């Protein structure tokens, strides 16, 4: 499966190409900044995303960014190594936010493909936190065999529970994802796997951003 992923180094920057204003109804308080945002990959670590296998791009309206994988697969059984049952990927992102604004990840959409034999199971997990912050949001999605199909998972956070980036301070944003498979009572000669990977070899994980203006420091 998988092949090569992202564009190499940790300093590749991806810019939004056009400008929008409203990101959501005014009642939510979400207004996207009118200027471009830039997201750089500071570091990429994990068995599920070897260097050069994860790409980040910002949507034109500044309300989402995508992470594209092509080598993110956990498996057990025939042909699998003992360490293949769990794969993870931690992205450390530098988000350059226009002055006067702060952001939070309001929701995240994941998808991929899984083949689970009867008796096998899998989980997809993600956590989100800012550098130096004790606030961590974490979500887990289970899957059980028999299963042989595309899968989707959505992490959504209520407005009042959003973890916002500190105003006026540059703090890197960390996304730690994990795929895990358990053989359970399945036939030990069979193979079960879960992947963040579509049929064409790419998967776009979409992170939807919420925005608000920072308090006037004066």
Residues 67, 74: Cα–Cα separation, whole Å: 18
In this structure, the dihedral spanned by the alpha carbons of residues 164, 166, 167 and 170, taken in order and rounded to 10 degrees, is: -120
pLDDT at residue 4, rounded to an integer? 32
Report, in angstroms and rounded to the nearest whole number, the Rg of the chain calculated over CA atoms. 18
What percent of the chain stands above pLDDT 70? Answer: 74
Bridge partners for 58 per DSSP = 65
* Residues 122, 74 contacting (CB under 8 angstroms): yes
pLDDT at residue 14, rounded to an integer? 28
pLDDT digits 0-9 by tens, 194-217? 998 633 234 456 777 788 888 876
Tokens of 205: 């994980």
For 119, the 3-state DSSP assignment is coil
pLDDT digits 0-9 by tens, 66-90? 777 888 999 999 999 999 999 999 9
pLDDT digits 0-9 by tens, 15-50? 222 222 223 322 344 456 767 677 777 888 899 988
Tokens of 129: 């936190």
* 147-156/203-213 β-pairing: unpaired
pLDDT band at 144 (very low <50, low <70, confident <90, very high): very high
For 160, list phi and psi in degrees, rounded to 5.
-70, -15
Q: Residue with structure tokens 């899998």? A: 122
Q: What 8-state DSSP symbol labels residue 190?
A: S
Bridge partners for 38 per DSSP = 15, 96
For 118, the 3-state DSSP assignment is coil
């Amino acid at each position: 499966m998988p092949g090569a992923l992202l564009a190499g180094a940790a300093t590749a920057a991806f810019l939004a190409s056009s400008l929008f204003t409203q990101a959501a109804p005014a009642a939510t308080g979400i207004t996207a900044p009118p200027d471009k945002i830039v997201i750089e990959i500071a570091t990429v670590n994990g068995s599920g995303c070897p260097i050069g296998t994860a790409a980040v791009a910002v949507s034109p309206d500044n309300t989402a960014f995508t992470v594209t994988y092509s080598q993110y697969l956990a498996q057990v059984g025939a042909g699998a190594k003992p360490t293949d049952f769990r794969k993870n990927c931690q992205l450390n992102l530098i988000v350059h936010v226009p002055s006067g604004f702060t952001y939070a990840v309001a929701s995240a959409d994941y998808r991929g493909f899984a083949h689970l034999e009867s008796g096998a199971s899998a989980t997809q997990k993600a956590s989100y936190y800012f550098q130096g912050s004790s606030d961590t949001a974490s979500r887990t999605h289970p899957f059980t065999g028999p299963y042989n199909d595309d899968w989707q998972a959505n992490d959504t956070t209520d407005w009042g529970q959003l973890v916002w980036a500190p105003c006026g301070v540059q703090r890197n944003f960390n996304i730690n994802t994990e795929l895990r498979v358990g053989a359970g009572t399945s036939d030990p000669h069979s193979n079960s796997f879960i992947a963040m990977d579509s049929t064409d070899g790419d998967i776009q994980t979409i992170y939807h951003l919420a925005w608000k203006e920072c308090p006037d420091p004066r």
